[in-house]
Each structure stands twice: as structure tokens, then as C-alpha cells.
Structure 1
């Protein structure tokens, strides 16, 4: 026989259900309606303010009703699997990607834009260190064994998410994907750098394989894209220097 839920827990469940979704759940018996409204607004506004801070561009490209509907859907239906406030952004992204039914009025880049904004937010608190500066990597990049920074994420999107805003909202993706690396630098500032598909592939190799000899990595890339090994090495040396100066890669 199922154990009966104690009366105080019944009140708690009713209270929480109403706070999450007052349009589909009756208020608990006892508290005055005006008091429940205060609780509802306090809880909801707290979540909305956090998401507005973490996803400011996403909010800016939606009208107010659509934004609040997006937040309300997350607030009412998503069951978070973390107690940490700093991880609400990841939970919101999970809701958008895996739970929410797309709306016909959604911008076609909505999920990619939200992912990009989440990445910037997540790197602020991500564990990991920026590689120590290496003089050898600047003077002789091809002679080093290189690795990707623990706080650098190569990302590829169909849309140019780093340029999207209220006045720039593409309806169709361009022919070439947008490749970025989002990273945290030595001053703990999160930045992004637009990179070529070849540089993105280079960072993918480092992300997948760890430390790799720079010269061998460039030879492998040249084979993949059907380019001269010597030509790519000359161009690649400058790319490695630029990435090292930003703290995106380090020398092992």
C-alpha cells in the first residue's frame, strides 16, 4: 500500500507547483492569494534576471512576450539536476535543446546563439588553467609539442552567432560555417576569436588527442585538405604564434 503523503508535504508540493506554473495549478489552501503572488513573482523574477544576464543577446532579439514565455516554459517544466545557481545557464540550454518544442516564430539561429552565450558564461567558472607563456613557442613554433588550453573551446556554428543582435538577424545560414574559439586569457577574461576552418580543425586535433608535435600536426592537416606541407607550415607558424600569444595553446 502506498504511503500517504503527510499534510505538510502536500502543502509544499501544491506551493511549489503553483509557484512554477500558476496557470495550470491551483494555489495551496491557506496562504492568501496576494501573498502567493508575491512568492511567485520573487521566484520567477530571480530566475528571469539570471537568464537575462547570461543570455542577453537571446533576450534582445525576442520580443518581451516571447522571452517571458521561453523563461516560463523552462521554469515550469524543467527539472534541474544540479543545485548550483551558476549552472542554471547550462540547464536552460539543456531545456532548449532537448525538451522544448520549437515554435514557428523562433529565429533559425536560436539554439546556436544560446549555446554560444552559454559557452561564454560557462568559461567564466570553468575549471582549468591557461598555459604558461612559452618563449620557444613564439620563436620556434614548429619545433614544439603543443596542446590546447584547458579553458579554450573550439566551436563551429551554421550562423555567425558572434555578430547576431537586434539589428542583425540572418534568416539563412551563410555557405561557410562560422568557426570560433572561445577562451579565457591570463587575466581571467573570456574572449572569442574568429578562426578559419583549417585552424578550427587544428584545435579539434589538439582537443581530441592532447599534446601533438606542431610540425606533424600541420603535415597531417595539409594531407587532409590537399595543400602543400611547406606552404601550410609557413602559414601555420604564424597561426600558432597568434594562438600562443592569446593563451589558446601552450607548449608541452
Structure 2
């Protein structure tokens, strides 16, 4: 392969996928509809939140892959992980479909599955930890991006509104509050030191080989176990108290997220 061919191949491996552009277009169009009040408020919020959540999932996995690339795994490009195409992930259903289903069922931003990193190419425990931490940090950055405008009141004059009983609400701040809550919940959950989640990936390099070997069989079930625990009322309440408490640091009340969730479930209203 010539140098020119190698450069061309490298560009192709990093070219943003049309799938991601479609997601961004859906996010922008639905965001405009929610902001302006065009069409059904509930359906607009639904499209906006789902598209935003999908975009964040793509960026989450891109964060892992990009950090791995700089850490020494030069194979991530050829695997398509740098194209932001969710269908290039190790398991698109686990990484992409199930997290969306969890949002639909319970309004919980449960993190998805992974890109496959060739860990033997990466030297140093800190690099391994940073690769695992990159995904949750992307979710945290996304949360800051969508919650700050709400908390600062920059969208209080947005024209789009919806009627909930006798209360009139601004649809875009509510949608962003709910989307931000999903990002924060994904961040908190993904940082749990549970096998199969990024929190465990952060500490795993620092464990003894014996401990890692003992935990490895439980990795495929970690996320499902967390989801099952969240269905327990007391655990669920404490979890959302924590997430809403973090939202409060941005000046966003949990009620705004609840309103966004209510509008999101347009099929119930």
C-alpha cells in the first residue's frame, strides 16, 4: 500500500457516518420544532430527546475509541469506531437499542455496551483507566451543555409552550432538563464499580490478576443487575434524589425534568 493509499484509508476510517448526520439533523429539526411550538409538543419532545440520547451514545463510544487510539490501539479506526456510526459497535443492540428501550420504559439513562478495545496494545494502567473514564466524561459534558442554558434561564422566553392541566410550560427547557437528567443518570450509573460498566473498567487495571479473574464471569450481567435494582422503589427513589441533587447544582429543578418526561411520553397523554 502506498503512502497516499494509507492516508486515504485513514481519512475513510475517520469520516463521520451518514447515520450520525441523520441523527444530528433529527436533533436539530426536532429542537427547532420544540423551541418554536411547531406541531405536537409531546411528539416533538419525544423526537428531540431520543435523537439527543442517540447522539450522546455515539459520542460516548467515540470517547472510548478516541482515547484508546491515543493510548496505543491503532485498530479502532479500521473497526469503524471513529465514524460515530452506532452500527459499527461490537454489539449494536446492546450499545444502542437497549439504552433507548430503557429510556422508553423507565426514563433512565442506562449506559450501553462497548467498542472492542485491544487492551494488549495499550501500556500503562493509567491509560486503561482513562479509556474507561472517557465515556462517562462525555455524558457529563453533554449534561453540562444542556443543563446550563436551562439553569441560567436563557430559554425562559422560548415561544414553544404546552398545556399540562392548568399549567402552561415552556417545552424546550423541559425537554433539555429531561435530556440532561438522562445524561447525569448515565454518568452516575456508568461510574459504579460494577463489572461490565465503565466504573469497574476504571479500577480494574489496579486490581490483582486473581481479583480480575474472579470478577470476569459476572461482567455480562452487570448492567442488567443494575437495571433490576433500579426497579426497586427505594433504590429508585434514592438514585433519583442523587441525580436531582446534582441537577440542582446547575440551577435546574427536578420538576423541570419530570415535566419533560411527561411530555416525552406523548402516547400516554
TM-score in same-fold range (> 0.5): no
Q: What TM-score results when the alignment is normalised by the length of structure 2?
A: 0.28
Task: Considering Cα pairs closer than 8 Å and 6+ residues apart, tell me whether 1 or 2 has the greater RCO.
Answer: 2
Greater C-alpha Rg: 1
Q: Which has the higher helix share?
A: 2
